[in-house]
Amino acid sequence: MRRPRATQLAHRRAWAAALLSATLLAACGTSTPTAAPEAAPSQRTATDRVGIAFAHIPAGEFLMGSDESPSALSKAFPHADAKRLGEFKDEAPVHSVRITRDFWMGTHEVTVGQFREFLRQSGYVPESVRDGTGGYGFNPDYNPPNTERADLFEGRDPRYSWENPGFAQTDQHPVVNVSWNDAVAMARWLSQQEGVTYRLPTEAEWEYAARAGTRTRFQGGDDPAEVLRTANTFDSETALRWPRWREQAGSGSDGFAFTAPVGSFQPNAWGLYDMIGNVWEWCSDWYGDDYYAQSPASDPTGPDDGDVKVRRGGSWHSWPLYARTAFRNWNSTSTRYVLVGFRLVREAPVKPAH
Ligand SMILES: [Ca+2]
Ligand SMILES: [Ca+2]
């Protein structure tokens, strides 16, 4: 893949930063799960007015999507039923996408503390509060495992919101129960305050940044067992609450039954944490199941309209099958849920950290 000279240089810097990061990890004798080091120095950035750090993502080209056959997936995910394995046609065809402009991606999912600060400074009222219907929450007594639904997520209910998803969240955890509209409102407010465009990533930008030069199923390779090491997903501890799905879980513990404080796992090669797992991340695009067959080769932004918006990356409640980097999912713009959050893109450089 050819890249303009400047972006080749930027890529070399990014990879050098990744190597440094890996070296630091090795030197620390890090085992999983532990706190990961901060982003390597060349990628550390100053923060905006609510405290979000951004990593420089250089322009470039990548192969987007997956064309793995159901039979190939069934070998890797022997407990998945055949119907599920046939549901990934929207990931194909694999196609080359060119991102023509550098951008700056939030190194972490937006946290509870950052969202709180946005609300405090802006006066914005989240959709779940404004419309009075609330959000969703974990309730172990709601359709417990011995019932047909075995659904422990209760809602909508006004007692659940971004502040209360039914499990413990500190200001360092990723905010959930935030709608696409809430995420866009925060981006617009930041843009107005700082005179720089903040927005959600496009689906293509999201996958480009999540892949960070890889073509593997997951951040660290193709083996589903790898997910426990690099992402907070549905593991053996989550399965204690949802025993029916134990077989679909990772085969061990990643240390977190619910959300994890952002940055609890290793970053990817471009200094981004939790792109996979922890919470789903809203993208700006409308979802189109056949979009990859017709999307433009440069800077695709999704179908012109649609019913639902894309979310990507899986969550703390996703089985490894759904923590594949290529997996696509969606919700309406007003959906608020215990598994869905977001991260922001900034369109301009940030000042060096001090
Ligand atoms: Ca977990
Ligand atoms: Ca995530």
User: What are the chain's domains?
Assistant: 6-346 (3.90.1580.10)
pLDDT at position 351 is 66
Tokens of 331: 């919700």
Calculate the CA dihedral of residues 320, 325, 331, 334 and round it to 10 degrees: 110
* pLDDT > 50? residue 169: yes
Enclosing H/E stretch for 328: strand 328-331
Q: Which residues surround ligand 2, an ion (CB under 5 A)?
A: 274, 278, 313
pLDDT recorded at residue 14? 36
- Identify the nearest ligand to the CA of 227 by its number: 1
Which ligand is closest in space to the CA of residue 272? 2
9 Cα–ligand 1 center, Å: 37
The pair of structure tokens assigned to 166 is 């039914």
What is the rounded average pLDDT of the residues 116-120? 98
Lowest mean pLDDT across 17-31, 117-131, 200-214, 335-349: 17-31
**Residue type for position 289:** D
Quote the CA–CA distance of 55 and 345 in Å, as a whole number. 9
Tens of pLDDT, residues 246-277 = 888 878 999 999 999 999 999 999 999 999 99
Tell me, in angstroms, the distance from the centre of ligand 2 to residue 230's CA: 11
pTM: 0.87
In this model, does residue 166 exceed pLDDT 60? yes
* 330: Cα within 13 Å, side-chain hemisphere: 15
Mean pLDDT of the chain: 87
DSSP per-residue string spanning 276-298: SBSSEEEEEEEP-TTGGGT--SB
**Residues within 5 A (CB) of ion ligand 1:** 232, 235, 254, 256
* Percent of residues, the chain, with pLDDT higher than 90: 77
| Helix 112-122 / helix 180-194 crossing angle, nearest 10 deg | 60
**pLDDT at residue number 160:** 98
Supply the pLDDT for residue 45.
Answer: 60
CA of 207 to the centre of ligand 2 (A): 12
- pLDDT at residue 39 tops 80: no
Contact 310, 212 (CB under 8 A): no
Q: How far apart are CA 293 and CA 93, in angstroms?
A: 6
38 confidence band (pLDDT: 50, 70, 90): very low
- pLDDT tens column, 234-254: 999 999 999 888 888 878 999
Reference 38, options 107, 94, 102, 88; nearest CA is 107
84 pLDDT exceeds 70? yes
**212 pLDDT above the threshold of 50:** yes
Strand partners, 164: 161
Higher pLDDT residue, 147 or 315?
315
Contact call for residues 267 and 36 (beta carbons, < 8 A): yes
Give pLDDT, residue 322.
97
Closest-lying ligand to the alpha carbon of 253?
1
Neighbours of 354 (CB within 10 A): 4
**Nearest bound ligand to CA 316?**
1
> pLDDT tens digits for 283-336?
999 999 999 999 999 999 999 999 999 999 999 999 999 999 999 999 999 999
Q: Side by side, which strands form the sheet with 103-106?
A: 54-57, 103-106, 345-346, 198-199
**Residue in 279, 316, 238, 236 with CA at minimum distance from that of residue 110:** 279
The pLDDT value given to residue 34: 31
pLDDT of residue 46: 58
DSSP strand pairing (309-312 vs 103-106): unpaired
Q: How far apart are CA 312 and CA 19, in angstroms?
A: 26
pLDDT at 33: 32
pLDDT for the residue 36? 32
Query: Left if phi > 0, otherwise alpha if psi is -120 to 50, otherwise beta: which for 277?
Result: left
Non-local (6+) Cβ contacts of 12 within 8 A are: none
pLDDT at 145 (0 to 100): 72
